[in-house]
Amino acid sequence: MAQRQRDSDGGARVGVYVCHCGTNIAGTIDIYGLTDFAASLPGVAVAREYKYMCSDPGQALIKQDIADHSLTRIVVAACSPCLHEKTFRHATALGGLNPYFFQMVNIREHDSWVHTDKAAATAKAKDLVRAAVNRVKRHQPLERREVSVKSDVLVVGGGIAGIHAALTLANAGKRVYLVEREPTIGGHMAMFDKTFPTLDCAACILTPKMTAVKMHPNITLWTMSEVARVEGYVGNYRVTVKRKPRYVIEELCLGCMECIEACVFKQAKVPDEFNLGLSKRKPVYIPFPQAVPQVVVIDPETCIEFKTGKCKKTCIEICGERNAIDLQQKEELKTIEVGAIVLATGFRIFDAKRIPYYGYGEYPNVYTGLEVERLINAAGPTGGELVMRGGRKPTSVGIIHCVGSRDEHTNRYCSRVCCMYSLKLAHLIKEKTGAEVYSLYIDIRAPGKAFEEFYNRVAEEGIRLIRGKVADIYPAPNGGSGLVLQVEDTLLCRVHKILVDMVVLATGLEPRADAQEVRRRFNIGCSSEGFFLERHPKLAPVNTFTDGIFLAGCCQGPKDIPDTVAQAGAAAGEALALIDAGAFELEPSTAYVLKDNCSGCKTCIGLCPYQAISFVEDRKQAEINEILCKGCGTCVAACPSGSIRQHLFEDEEILEEIDGVLAYA
Amino acid sequence: MPDGFEPKIVAFFCNWCTYLAADLAGTSRMKYAPNIRVIRTMCSGRLDPQFVLYALANGADGVLIGGCHPGDCHYQEGNYKTLRRYHLLKRLLKEYGIEEERVRLEWISAAEADKLRTAVNQLVEKVRALGPLRWCAPVEVREPSEVTLQ
């Protein structure tokens, strides 16, 4: 740790600005007392309070004071530096000072909003302001650092979010790599029948966009692929993509599907993932008729050739000269360099088996909402006929809302889409079968454009809406057919036992099973539910804390299709703003070595995860590459001789802060 | 213990996880003890153990260190280095005769405002029970007869 000289203020003239933030800060902290206190601190030339420091007049005040009072340092006590540090650095620079001659004091998020005792909150604010004044006097002039930004973009996930983001970016002339784990793009939306509240057919609105992706000259589509590794930093990511073998050469396959016909499996025997196991497929298959790419895929888990090596390989035979089938295909690694990344990895459906008393998986006629989407879809396993397992049409159906949502035992959050898709399914089931439909809800949440109208429409169609959480489902007694739903109607305060043929569970939306792994790979955060964390819930909803990585769709939290598409467009827009700027300003807080002091002990070298520190043999000293350094400061803390230092986090600056918060007023 | 003792706690929070958790606690209007003074570093790995000793020597009664969860460090592994130093620091504190509970390391992610509140409140209560550290106060000179040489 470097030794500090105590008397080197250098005659700094500090301006301190205390923000009221309306009553957000002024309601708890004695602003005037705090300002007077700041004015009394050594080196402070001006201390002022102002209603909103972040406003234009607030910033102008700083600029004016720098000129009028020859200020050399600026301190603003307001909100979190995450919100307005940049604003005030800019204001400081406009006044003609180095932008880093500025320090922000967080007296809102860290003080006025979390404390109720006004005296204690004000005392804390004084300590924090004193620390900042102490510290800012030590600030050194720093240069802005910029990195260039590569213009290609990676989009991860080929659902509607990824598709929309990729198309927007590609239409703007950027090269886009769209990486999808499954054999086709389309995601969950491709599995839906109709979409609420307009009842558009999901495939009709989605498949043109899927085809557009395939046709777009600027989009490289890699299906059956996953991101294996991400290196680099904003503007310069180096991404390794693992391409799993499809055992079919994409460029050669025409999608004629003759090989599927010819497969030695005469009957389809394997549960079809796209239809959620409600139908069967062969080991060679195409996920669904409009799949993009229109290319078959061979599943090595079930293909006889892969299992025994003794198949007649009729698929290869029929493919003939086209030679599109290649059973020797190997996993491939591709490396790309991109400036920005859009994550659109989607969600998974809540596993209804986690609520045992709803009997999913136990009673054959308990379905999930997504399964019913497939059953009523014309391209689905039953050709659009709503028939139950056993082949009968239901005459009465109970739809249970909030399965795996708003529930203390599973997920506390609202999945946002289930009320509306339940109403949509109620409408479609009624339309297709004429069955009596009961919708059992906790609250109906219909807060989107034309949603309330849709709810009213469905209610008027004669859907029986009952407010209550279903407590139990059991088979009809005395050998009768059907299932009994036991529910307390909380509006009538009466327990109902409703006999139905079929139960639909409106399962909620959860983070992907590997969301934690994925977020670590991309170095971003997760919220407590496990969805990817946005930089700011309101003001930076598609940004992450890692610059150059943006979020779109349900990986960030449950949302419906319009919101997903809007967010995907926003993520693409943010990526474009980054790329078209051509350069990105980095934080200047890198580490550097004092050449006179370094003894060449090499303690620091192994500590750096970015290989930014090297050992210069002829001088026998460490050297830091400031482009590679990300400014964590780990080596600074470790250097035994105090010869590694960090811009903006110099030992002196931190020690001054400690002194500042501890000095008793 | 003197009446009305209010512990002074200095906290070192990393910019990406714990500092943000404290921001979130603010946005969520959670309430916690006002005894804590936060100093921000980019990574908990920047925390030189001497900062902790310096704080304790200059009037802090306790120190809270906050970093990202293991595996979640914004800088990949800075928090592991913090953990290593923390264990050594604890041993050193013991040698100095300082109750090791006065210094606490917590992994608090940006989403864990509630954990932050609990950690702050618990540490404040713990230190309140331990009483002032007064490490900066002059050392009490004991009579030679009380000292037993071995």
Side chain identity at B57, as an amino acid letter?
Answer: A
Determine, for residues A525 and B43 on separate chains, whether the beta-carbon distance falls below 8 Å: no
Prediction pTM value: 0.86
Chain A residues within 8 A of B43 when measuring between CB atoms:
632-634
Centroid of chain to Cα A266:
44
Q: Which among A291, A269, A288 has a CA at the least distance from the CA of A280?
A: A269
Chain A residues within 8 A of B61 when measuring between CB atoms:
none
In the predicted structure, residue A3 carries a pLDDT above the cut 70 = no
b (16+ CB within 10 A) / e for A76-98? bbbbbbbbbbebbbebbbebebb
Summarize the confidence of residues B13-31 as an average pLDDT.
96
**The tokens 């999913």 sit on which residue?**
A360
Q: How many angstroms separate the Cα of A657 from the Cα of each of A75, A397, B21, B55?
A: 13, 66, 21, 10
Instruction: Write down the pLDDT at residue B2.
Output: 46
ipTM, two decimals: 0.91
In the predicted structure, residue A665 carries a pLDDT above the cut 50 = no
- What percent of chain A lies above the pLDDT cut of 90? 92
Q: How many angstroms separate the Cα of B61 from the Cα of each of B5, B14, B48?
A: 11, 21, 18
Task: Kindly state the helix (H) or strand (E) to which residue A635 belongs, with its residue range.
Answer: helix A634-638
A454-482 confidence digits (pLDDT tens): 999 999 999 999 999 999 999 999 888 89
The Cα A140–Cα A432 span in angstroms is: 73
A333-369 confidence digits (pLDDT tens): 999 999 999 999 999 999 999 999 999 999 999 999 9
Q: How confident is the model at residue A112 (pLDDT cuts 50, 70, 90)?
A: very high
Q: How confident is the model at residue A264 (pLDDT cuts 50, 70, 90)?
A: very high
Give Cβ neighbours of residue A66 (< 8 Å, ≥ 6 apart): A15, A74, A92, A95, A96, A97
A34-90 confidence digits (pLDDT tens): 999 999 999 999 999 999 999 999 999 999 999 999 999 999 999 999 999 999 999
Instruction: Write down the pLDDT at residue A616.
Output: 94
Helix (H, G, I), strand (E, B) or coil at A112: helix
Closest B-chain CA to A520: B72
Task: Kindly state the helix (H) or strand (E) to which residue A591 belongs, with its residue range.
Answer: strand A591-593
Closest A-chain CA to B59: A662
Instruction: Write down the pLDDT at residue A134.
Output: 96
In the predicted structure, residue A7 carries a pLDDT above the cut 50 = no
Are B14 and B42 in contact by the 8 Å Cβ rule? The answer is yes
Summarize the confidence of residues A276-296 as an average pLDDT.
95
Summarize the confidence of residues A23-41 as an average pLDDT.
97
Task: Kindly state the helix (H) or strand (E) to which residue A348 belongs, with its residue range.
Answer: strand A347-349
Of B39, B58, B60, the CB nearest to A654: B39
**The tokens 């990105």 sit on which residue?**
A584
Q: Which among A427, A436, A438, A429 has a CA at the least distance from the CA of A385?
A: A429
Widest CA span in chain B: 58
Q: Is A520 on the interface with B (CB under 8 A)?
A: yes
In the predicted structure, residue A101 carries a pLDDT above the cut 50 = yes
Q: Is A594 on the interface with B (CB under 8 A)?
A: no
Per DSSP, which regions of B18-148 are E strands?
36-41, 62-67, 103-107
Summarize the confidence of residues B1-17 as an average pLDDT.
87
Per DSSP, which regions of A404-469 are E strands?
436-441, 464-467
The Cα B57–Cα B96 span in angstroms is: 11
Instruction: Write down the pLDDT at residue B146.
Output: 53
* Beta strand pairing call for A332-338 and A621-624: unpaired
Determine, for residues B26 and A113 on separate chains, whether the beta-carbon distance falls below 8 Å: yes
In the predicted structure, residue A2 carries a pLDDT above the cut 90 = no
Are A344 and A157 in contact by the 8 Å Cβ rule? The answer is yes
Q: How confident is the model at residue B20 (pLDDT cuts 50, 70, 90)?
A: very high
Of A528, A646, A659, the CB nearest to B111: A528
The Cα A124–Cα B118 span in angstroms is: 19
Q: What domains sit in chain B, N to C, each tagged with a CATH number?
A: 9-130 (3.40.50.960)
Which residues are A489's β-sheet partners? A494
Side chain identity at B25, as an amino acid letter?
Answer: A
